[in-house]
Structure 1
Amino acid sequence: MPPVEPVREPARQRDLRDRNLATLLARVAAAGGADDDAAPSRAALAAATGLARGTVSALVDVLLAAGLLEELPPPPRTGAGRPANGLRLSGGRVAALGVELGASHVVACVRDLTGAVRARVARGSVDRTGAPERVLAASAELAGAALAQARAQGLEVVGGAWALPGLVDSAAGRLRLAPNLGWRDVDVLALLGAHPGLAGLPLAVDNEAALAAVAELWHPGDALDGSLGGTSFVLVTGEVGIGAGVVLDGRPLRGERGWSGELGHVTVDPAGPRCGCGARGCLEAYAGQEALLRRAGLAGDGTGADALRRAAEAGAPAALGALEEAGRALGVALAGAVNLLDVDAVVLGGTCAPLAPWLAAPLERELGERVLRARLLGVPVRVSTTGADAAVMGAAALVLQRVLDAPAALLG
């Protein structure tokens, strides 16, 4: 007797099931947070989505079994009937790796599905004269240390993303141009994929400033597709270079090739000093970390923004003068961006965040003088909620959002 073929779901039925799983997970994520009272029940999900209660219950059971959701204990009974159990995202199984490869440091972190950071390791220096193969291998080793910490906690890391400086071709996995690293047309994904510690792990690459904006924009439940209507800002992230992540009406602005945000190469003085990119008077030549350290008399100190902050706190005239000039240059460059894009706010992230007490005043003066709408409506300047870790947090968020968008991929 021939073997009996198993009954398979029609493709359209599977697609519908997968979409419904994503819809339910997104609903729970959107209601989530620390407030257990906001956690939706199965009945509430059925009412919100229009799905049958039996369908919702069955799909919720699938998400619970997969470790993507967890069920809260029932609240105290206050009347007749059994109180409904709330549902929330689970941080117990799925996690994502983020790595920031800066021009002078490498940071790796792992975030679970709730967005919580479960592991973080950092290396304070990068040999920018080294071959890309060696630098990327060092970043992979650091990533391996973060992965080991996460796996020791029982987490399953389902993917990783690298935040890189310069012009990144995300689709091809290549870093096309990074003046501060001296790299041109490097196949980053191929080099990382060859590292044994990353074998089998899905990887992605993107620009560090764009990912910093993702971190500022995202928490579980906030899709990165324009659903946060009305949220518009320019986030400035700085280290050796200066980049900007732009969000318009809740949607990251990427440009035709994903190469937008090179704020550091906006000209603030055509007769100014030579920039590392070869042009004169770029913002980076005034507000980049190395330019600031040089003007503050701290070049070669090796501690970057921390040295500047300490010198400014001590009232060192050279450090205060360098930060004043950097804030003015930031204001000139950002005024053009605000006039062009009409964003709601300017956000200081990266190494600009700890220096905000000294950068903000001259920056705000320039915005007030140069932005046309400032006569009617001011341009708030605030500090990033994710601080110097914005890019690495955004890299991990990029992977986590893919889980929320397509949970069926983890169900086997």
Structure 2
Amino acid sequence: MTDPTRSPAQPEGTAYGPGIALGGRLGGIGPGPIARLGRRGISRGLNGGPQRGTSDGGGRRERPPHHQAQRPGARQETLRESNLLLITEEIFSAAESLSRADLSIRTGMTRSTVSRLVDDLLAAGIVREGSPIVGGTRGRPAVPLHPARCTLAGLGVEINVDFMAARVIDLTGSVLAEEIIEGDFSASDPAEVLPQIGLLALRVARQAAEAGARVVGTVMALPGLVTAEEDRLMLAPNLGWRDVDVPQMVCRSLGGPEQLADLPEGSPRLGEFGDFFVVANEAKLSALAAAQEFSAHEEGEQTFFYVSAQMGIGAAVVIDGIVDAGPRGWAGEIGHVAVEPGGPQCRCGASGCLEVFAGKGALLEAAGLEPAASAEELVSLTEWEDEPGERARQAIDRAGWALGVALSSAVNLLDVDDIVLGGEFGPLADLLRPRIEQELRQRVLAARWSRFRVRETTTGVAPATTGGALRALRAVVDDPLRWVPEAG
């Protein structure tokens, strides 16, 4: 039985090109290459942890035991797995639905081989057959293949300073169930909050199950640093959390002794959360949702720098549709870049960080609004021709200056001149854009030869839950054989 507190294995060197169309309340996004969190697959052992016995830490690689070989020779099952992955990628990445004959032409496989592999995907609930298309040629009508509806699904969960949310998305991108609860979770106790979000996630998972879907895995978004193994929160300054084993705490809070009696110590599991339960950074998962949105709308993999505000500010760089999280997953902490070293102290302990000028709390306070006010209220206030309106405009101008300073450094370092504003920055994009662009033109060395674009996303409320669900569904697209009944 798979340990859900660990991430599923991902094959090294996989071509990540397939697409998941987002539907439901997400705006009917069409097909396109699916975005991916992390540039490389993570090699993990049978227990979900990192592979052992392959390096001495100094660069010398030892020969692993035969059964742990990282690139074993081809066997019949290996060829089946590779071919099934190729067929799945073709189906999910195609702009138009493909038939078995189309797949045979694209892959060079015989029609009989393609047919057997498609039968596997049908049995796994990964694809479905559409209505036959009668064309002008002789022979059998072509039967288009589509991602399956309401069969396998991913569960995305998020806990942030002022809300918790859960969302289940199937392979077509349709939202099967979701729930969002507002609250104040700053400086909270994880032992009190995590059982609440566990119950929320369980309710949403059960709603999806009632609709006929099976949750394959759960990814929880957190506003802070998580371990490279995706099994523990290291630090979330705005929540006030440090060193928390989130998956284990959630599972243990929901599972009574009778459910855990036959399980090894330290590996609680709840089947309704799927085969794995991992944690990831909120901004990275939001960027994943944005990358999927833009790739589908513009029919191509996108490169941009994503910056998002909740109570804090997170960011991620997306290169060709891939959210590059860095070797340990800690890249993108732009909220703690110093824009004025002698400025106000930040919750992280440093001073003059971007968050103290442009974070949601700082922005609302500077505008004279209550902490619970929305970005839309701030926009409305800027339209007033009086002192409160002027104060709001000055607050936004200061936030735009701070963002421009920090983003100029990012553009100089990364050579990415497409900026995407998400979270609370989205509704403020039109007001923030002029000052951000002014700073970019002034501070970016290559500004003269660059064409900056500052735009907002339309991924909706709690985009990290969408990103979490997409991240979970990669386990299906990356390893389809795992879900075939007789093979899994």
**TM-score, structure 1 length as denominator?**
0.89
Deviations 1:59-99 (A, max 9, x none): 11121122211111112343433321111111220111001
Equivalence map 1:208-227=2 (5 Å): 208-218=282-292
| Residue 174 of structure 1: how far off its partner (Å) | 0.9
**Counterpart contact for 1:30–1:221, Cα < 8 Å:** no
Deviations 1:36-60 (A, max 9, x none): xx21110111111121210110111
1:30 partner letter: S
Query: Does residue 14 in structure 1 map to residue 59 in structure 2?
Result: no
Q: 74-83 or 175-184: which moved more?
A: 74-83
Query: What is the aligned partner in structure 1 of residue 355 from structure 2?
Result: 284
Query: What is the aligned partner in structure 1 of residue 306 from structure 2?
Result: 235
2:423 partner letter: G
| Residue 206 of structure 1: how far off its partner (Å) | 0.7
1:405 partner letter: D
Query: What is the aligned partner in structure 2 of residue 177 from structure 1?
Result: 235
| Residue 284 of structure 1: how far off its partner (Å) | 0.2
C-alpha distance in structure 1 between counterparts of 2:327 and 2:228, whole Å: 12
> 1:220 and 1:247, CA in 2 relative to 1: closer, same or farther beyond 3 A?
closer
Equivalence map 1:13-412=2 (5 Å): 13-32=76-95, 38-171=96-229, 173-196=231-254, 199-200=270-271, 201=273, 202-218=276-292, 231-300=302-371, 302-314=372-384, 316-411=389-484, 412=488
| Residue 310 of structure 1: how far off its partner (Å) | 3.3
SS at match of 1:334: helix
Q: 173-182 or 141-150: which moved more?
A: 141-150
SS at match of 2:139: coil
| Residue 170 of structure 1: how far off its partner (Å) | 4.0
| Residue 218 of structure 1: how far off its partner (Å) | 3.0
C-alpha distance in structure 2 between counterparts of 1:50 and 1:344, whole Å: 40
C-alpha distance in structure 2 between counterparts of 1:310 and 1:107, whole Å: 27
Deviations 1:94-119 (A, max 9, x none): 11100111122112111101222222
**Counterpart contact for 1:113–1:220, Cα < 8 Å:** no
> 1:187 and 1:322, CA in 2 relative to 1: closer, same or farther beyond 3 A?
same
C-alpha distance in structure 1 between counterparts of 2:401 and 2:475, whole Å: 39
Aligned pairs, number = 391
**Counterpart contact for 1:126–1:135, Cα < 8 Å:** no
SS at match of 2:84: helix
2:408 partner letter: A
Q: Percent identity?
A: 45
C-alpha distance in structure 1 between counterparts of 2:199 and 2:464, whole Å: 19
Deviations 1:338-374 (A, max 9, x none): 0110014000011111111211111111111111222
Q: 119-128 or 88-97: which moved more?
A: 119-128
**TM-score, structure 2 length as denominator?**
0.76
1:252 partner letter: V
C-alpha distance in structure 1 between counterparts of 2:405 and 2:215, whole Å: 42
| Residue 312 of structure 1: how far off its partner (Å) | 3.1
**Counterpart contact for 1:305–1:351, Cα < 8 Å:** yes
| Residue 155 of structure 1: how far off its partner (Å) | 1.0
C-alpha distance in structure 1 between counterparts of 2:321 and 2:135, whole Å: 40
C-alpha distance in structure 1 between counterparts of 2:140 and 2:230, whole Å: 54
Q: 188-197 or 139-148: which moved more?
A: 188-197
C-alpha distance in structure 2 between counterparts of 1:250 and 1:296, whole Å: 36
1:125 partner letter: G
| Residue 254 of structure 1: how far off its partner (Å) | 1.9
**Counterpart contact for 1:170–1:204, Cα < 8 Å:** no
**Counterpart contact for 1:351–1:388, Cα < 8 Å:** no
Deviations 1:293-330 (A, max 9, x none): 11111134x23324323323556222222111111110
C-alpha distance in structure 1 between counterparts of 2:155 and 2:185, whole Å: 23
| Residue 292 of structure 1: how far off its partner (Å) | 0.8
**Counterpart contact for 1:31–1:221, Cα < 8 Å:** no
> 1:160 and 1:190, CA in 2 relative to 1: closer, same or farther beyond 3 A?
same
Q: 188-197 or 232-241: which moved more?
A: 188-197
Q: Structure 2 stretches of 5 or more lacking a match?
A: 1-72, 256-268
Q: Which has the higher contact order (CA 8 A, sep 6+)?
A: 2
Deviations 1:112-170 (A, max 9, x none): 01222222210111332331121111111221222122122111111110011111114
2:149 partner letter: G
SS at match of 2:452: coil
C-alpha distance in structure 2 between counterparts of 1:284 and 1:128, whole Å: 15
Deviations 1:245-294 (A, max 9, x none): 11234432222321111111111111211111121111000110100111
1:88 partner letter: H
1:307 partner letter: E
C-alpha distance in structure 2 between counterparts of 1:387 and 1:367, whole Å: 27
C-alpha distance in structure 1 between counterparts of 2:384 and 2:480, whole Å: 52
**Counterpart contact for 1:236–1:245, Cα < 8 Å:** yes
